[in-house]
Amino acid sequence: MTNRVAVVLAAGEGKRMQSSLPKVLHSVCGKTLLGHVVSAVNAVCSQIIVVIGHKGDEVKKACGEQVHYVRQAQQLGTGHAVQQAEPLLPASGTVFVLCGDTPLLTAETLQHLLAAHQEAQAAATILTAKVPEPFGYGRIVRDGGRVVKIVEEKDATAEERKISEINTGTYIFDAQLLREALGKLHTNNAQGEYYLTDCIEELIRKDKVVTTYLLPDYRLALGVNDRLQLAEAQAIMQKHINEKLMAAGVTMIDPQTAYIDADVKIGRDTVIMPNTVLRGATQIGEQCIIGPNSELIDCQVGNEVVFRHSVAVKASLADKVTVGPFAHLRPETVLHSGVKVGDFVEIKKSDVGENTKIAHLAYVGDAQIGRKANLGAGTIIVNYDGRKKHLTIIGDEAFVGCSSNLVAPVTIGDGAFVAAGSTITKDVPAGALSLARAYQVNKEGRAARLLKKKTDE
Ligand code: UD1
Ligand code: CA
């Protein structure tokens, strides 16, 4: 691996995407196109060089420090792009060249390609595929089985255009021989570009061994050029992710509507119900029921959790928590084991202790709540005074009656009881009953008059 370097071409604009975002930064299953390529390449190469150009700074920012960058100021062709990386290439060793827009390429495919390259002791090995519609691709021209050259669609003869074996744009080269071949490139072709593919013909002219590895499933070579191909790549990858999860013991009631990002982890015997979206770094334990109609982004979920018709972002849910229907858990929400969060409850930046119940219609923000507490329907934590957020502390086994406002900063002690309809502005000691509402006045016989007036109108 030490002398294996990858050059990833990502300088093009990708005009057909019709986007202000550079093509390689579009996402499939929660990761950018370039991110998928870099992940696959990471498994086989010790160093990755990304050739940037169009909106290069954006690409650099998104892809980060894990790779090296070289700039291609003008996009004069794939050969010209690799020439920009030349100063960073090792004197000897192996160079992978890939495009930044092939998200379905896997580390496994690259390993097969490398094995073919090593076995043939080749100067170059091309990853090829046989496709039903080869239009637009470079074709692999052979003579008696041996590769002669790669010809681009625009330069091909009618006969060559009938060839269904195409160049996927992924290759391995011997570093030294690639360097020499790059020096010979010219723009004498239909597009007036420096074609990387011409290096193949040059190596063959020098009697070097050029071999190929044919991808068994041509769809894995899919390059994304427009939104339709982006959706195709998404569908293929989603199917792979879901099949892998099912093979590992996850039940999916309707895999077609389970949208699960590439890095999500799910434990055995968990059931994913229809219309469930699991994104980012979400991890889910065993024997949970997730969905239907739910979205979890960057969440940590324990075992035996039930999460129905709800949304959670950057929240942590311990074992046996139940959420929903129709709850919203916002960042920094921590629910300890056995917590029950019911319908129309929003929780933000709060720690909720074991077996506490917040069963209906509540807002909880910036709170620390103990164990076995009960927040009644309509409990509102008034955490914001228009300028600052304040903390509310609720003790173990405290009971907050329905429609109470807890005006922060405030503390409700262990085992305290807040009467329904209270607006609490001062601390409530442990064990105390607190009433903070107007007293009720009953006026005998006065109802009839009011009701009469109403019907007279
Ligand atoms: C290239 C191959 C073709 C192959 C196809 C597979 C050449 C001449 N042709 O076609 O045989 O079938 O890929 O998709 O290589 N790029 C740069 N700088 C440039 C030009 C391109 O970085 O100056 C990058 C693009 O951003 C893209 C990749 O190289 O990621 C491929 O470019 P693209 O224009 O899509 O490929 P083609 O030239 O059409
Ligand atoms: Ca092109």
Task: Tell me: pLDDT of 455 over 70.
Answer: no
Q: Which residues approach ligand 1 with their CB closer than 6 A?
A: 9-12, 51, 53, 72, 75-78, 80-81, 99-101, 137-138, 150, 152, 166-169, 195-197, 223
End-to-end alpha carbon distance in the chain:
90
8 Å CB contact between 197 and 173: no
Assign residue 209 the CATH number of its domain. 3.90.550.10
Other beta carbons within 10 angstroms of residue 171's beta carbon come to: 26
Q: How far apart are CA 74 and CA 53, in angstroms?
A: 7
Residue 332 lies in domain: 227-434
8 Å CB contact between 172 and 113: yes
Kindly state whether residues 249 and 367 are assigned to the same domain: yes
Q: Is 276 helix (H, G, I), strand (E, B) or coil?
A: strand
Two tokens at 406? 């807890």
325: preceding bond cis by omega (within 30 degrees) = yes
Kindly state whether residues 351 and 263 are assigned to the same domain: yes
Kindly state whether residues 128 and 243 are assigned to the same domain: no
Kindly state whether residues 51 and 140 are assigned to the same domain: yes
What is the whole-number distance in angstroms between the Cα of residue 152 and the centre of ligand 2? Answer: 10
For all residues of the chain together, what is the average pLDDT? 96
8 Å CB contact between 226 and 243: no
> Into how many domains does the chain fold?
2
Assign residue 339 the CATH number of its domain. 2.160.10.10
Task: Tell me: pLDDT of 454 over 70.
Answer: no
Beta bridge partners of 166: 129, 139
Q: What's the predicted TM-score (pTM) here?
A: 0.91
Q: How confident is the model over 16-36, as a mean pLDDT? A: 97
Of 81, 61, 67, 197, give the one whose Cα is nearest residue 137.
Answer: 197
Kindly state whether residues 166 and 270 are assigned to the same domain: no
Q: Which of 153, 187, 221 is the last residue of a domain?
A: 221
Question: Per the domain annotation, does 12 fall within a domain?
Answer: yes
Two tokens at 74? 């003008």
Q: How far is CA 295 from the centre of its chain?
A: 13
Kindly state whether residues 66 and 179 are assigned to the same domain: yes
Q: How confident is the model over 193-220, as a mean pLDDT? A: 97
Q: Is 452 helix (H, G, I), strand (E, B) or coil?
A: helix
Kindly state whether residues 157 and 287 are assigned to the same domain: no
Using the structure block, give the residue that is written with the tokens 């006026």: 443
Q: Which of 193, 221, 249 is the last residue of a domain?
A: 221
Question: Per the domain annotation, does 444 fall within a domain?
Answer: no
Residue of 49, 52, 78 best suited for mutating to test ligand 1, as the one with most atoms within 8 Å of CB: 78
Question: Per the domain annotation, does 451 fall within a domain?
Answer: no
Which atom from ligand 1 is nearest to the alpha carbon of 81? 18
Task: Tell me: pLDDT of 330 over 60.
Answer: yes
Of 257, 294, 264, 266, give the one whose Cα is nearest residue 280.
Answer: 264
Digit-coded pLDDT (tens) for 333-362: 999 999 999 999 999 999 999 999 999 999
Question: Per the domain annotation, does 456 fall within a domain?
Answer: no
What is the whole-number distance in angstroms between the Cα of residue 204 and the centre of ligand 2? Answer: 24
What is the whole-number distance in angstroms between the Cα of residue 178 and the centre of ligand 1? Answer: 17
Q: How many CA atoms lie within 13 A of 286 on its CB side?
A: 4
Kindly state whether residues 209 and 233 are assigned to the same domain: no
Between the alpha carbon of residue 228 and those of residues 223, 231, 302, the distances in Å are 11, 5, 37
Which atom from ligand 1 is nearest to the alpha carbon of 23? 26
Using the structure block, give the residue that is written with the tokens 């202790």: 353
**Is 328 considered catalytic here?**
no
Q: How far is CA 330 from the centre of its chain?
A: 18
Angle at 137 between CA 235 and CA 178, to 5 degrees: 110
Kindly state whether residues 251 and 379 are assigned to the same domain: yes
Question: Per the domain annotation, does 210 fall within a domain?
Answer: yes
Digit-coded pLDDT (tens) for 230-277: 999 999 999 999 999 999 999 999 999 999 999 999 999 999 999 999
Q: Which of 186, 221, 256 is the last residue of a domain?
A: 221
Q: How confident is the model over 118-145, as a mean pLDDT? A: 96
Question: Per the domain annotation, does 442 fall within a domain?
Answer: no
Kindly state whether residues 215 and 234 are assigned to the same domain: no
Of 215, 234, 310, 218, give the one whose Cα is nearest residue 26.
Answer: 234
Question: Per the domain annotation, does 450 fall within a domain?
Answer: no
Kindly state whether residues 258 and 383 are assigned to the same domain: yes
Digit-coded pLDDT (tens) for 67-113: 999 999 999 999 999 999 999 999 999 999 999 999 999 999 999 99
Question: Per the domain annotation, does 441 fall within a domain?
Answer: no
Kindly state whether residues 242 and 334 are assigned to the same domain: yes
